[in-house]
Amino acid sequence: MSETESGPEADEFDSEAEIDATSSPDVSVEYPLQVDGLRKTFGGITAVDDATFQVENGTLTGLIGPNGAGKSTTFNLITGMIKPDAGTVTFNGDDITGMEPHAIANQGLVRTFQIARELEDMTVLENMMLAPKNQRGEKLWRSVTPGVRNGVIEQEEELLDRVWEVLEFFEIDHIAEEYAGNLSGGQRKLLEMARALLTDPDMLLLDEPFAGVNPSLEKRLLTHIHELREQGYTFLLVEHDMDLIMENCEHVIVLHQGRVLTEGTPEDIKSNEEVIEAYLGGNV
Ligand code: ADP
Ligand code: MG
């Protein structure tokens, strides 16, 4: 049983501050995500090979590299989708290596997921109501509810409040009753990010969030990412559009053949001979 389910702390708990969709996450660690010596092989292929890097709190950090460099595998290792052969992942000072995805999400580290086929027949609102099951938000909501029966109702109401708050933030509240299957590529991406935000994360991993998104929605999505970053959320972004990375990220990590080739500011990266070589010489 969780320590937050009862006791005097529960009554004093200020729910308003905690469920604000746009409230800042409470992170004080300078580098919340630390990846050290991470390795993963699939048969004979070493997808991630001694990858070591860290992500600074409150930044939009880019993770780039040619096709097959190991970017998606790195995300899968960080978020617990697959287990590493070696290395560690530390988040907010805790070793989260090999933990289950939901447990990692509970700690405040999430990645976005494509809307699964079975969720396409549900509305945007229904998709949102399902999103935080067994995740962080539920724990917070439960902690403010004294009785079990009342608790369920209050929890539902608080969830609904927060769902609307997040939908309004992403400006998709007007399509709440639309079936997810009818959304445009860009609207889907907004919903995917809205769902991720519902779990009350500190840090979001985005793997090519602009794929199939038209330019105007891409701009909107980027605006929202910057707004959230300014509120203290941390982002690690995989994106193949170099101009987009260079214009939006304050720090860029270059992955090549499963390991970090170099990292630095966009200016550092643009003028780096090794990076140019990796892209031009590699299988871009
Ligand atoms: P990126 O996202 O940078 O394009 P990936 O992480 O998807 O790269 O892939 C890195 C390498 O690992 C590639 O050679 C890919 O074919 C291989 N790979 C990724 N996932 C698997 C898997 N589940 N089984 C076998 N090989 C895989
Ligand atoms: Mg990939």
DSSP 100-139: -HHHHHHTTEEE--PPPGGGTTSBHHHHHHHTTTTSHHHH
CA of 25 to the centre of ligand 2 (A): 28
Query: How far is it, in rounded angstroms, from Cα 15 to Cα 80?
Result: 29
pLDDT at 146: 45
Please give the Cα distance from 260 to 126 (Å, whole number): 40
Whether the pLDDT of residue 58 is over 90: the answer is yes
Among residues of the chain, what percentage have pLDDT more than 70?
80
How crowded is residue 39: how many other Cβ atoms within 10 Å of its Cβ? 18
Q: How far apart are CA 263 and CA 252, in angstroms?
A: 6
Torsion angle, alpha carbons of 190, 193, 195, 200, to 10: -140
Q: Is 69 in the pocket of ligand 1 (CB under 6 A)?
A: yes
Ligand nearest to the Cα of 44, by number: 1
- Closest C-alpha residue for ligand 1 atom 24: 42
- The predicted-structure confidence for 262-275, as pLDDT tens digits, reads as follows 999 999 998 888 88
Residue 142 has pLDDT above 90, yes or no: no
Q: Enter the pTM of the model.
A: 0.83
Q: Of 11-15, 154-158, 199-203, give the range with the top mean pLDDT.
A: 199-203
What does the pLDDT look like over 67-118, one tens digit per residue?
A: 999 999 999 999 999 999 999 999 999 999 999 998 999 999 999 887 788 7
Which structural domain range is residue 193 located in?
3-281
What is the phi/psi pair of residue 238, to 5°? -100, 125
Which domain CATH number covers 145?
A: 3.40.50.300
What does the block give as tokens for 246? 């260079």
- Side by side, the strands of the sheet bearing 234-238 are 109-111, 203-207, 234-238, 60-64, 251-256, 259-264
Calculate how far, in angstroms, residue 97's C-alpha sits from the geometric centre of ligand 1: 20
Total domains present in the chain: 1
C-alpha 65/C-alpha 54 separation (Å) is 16
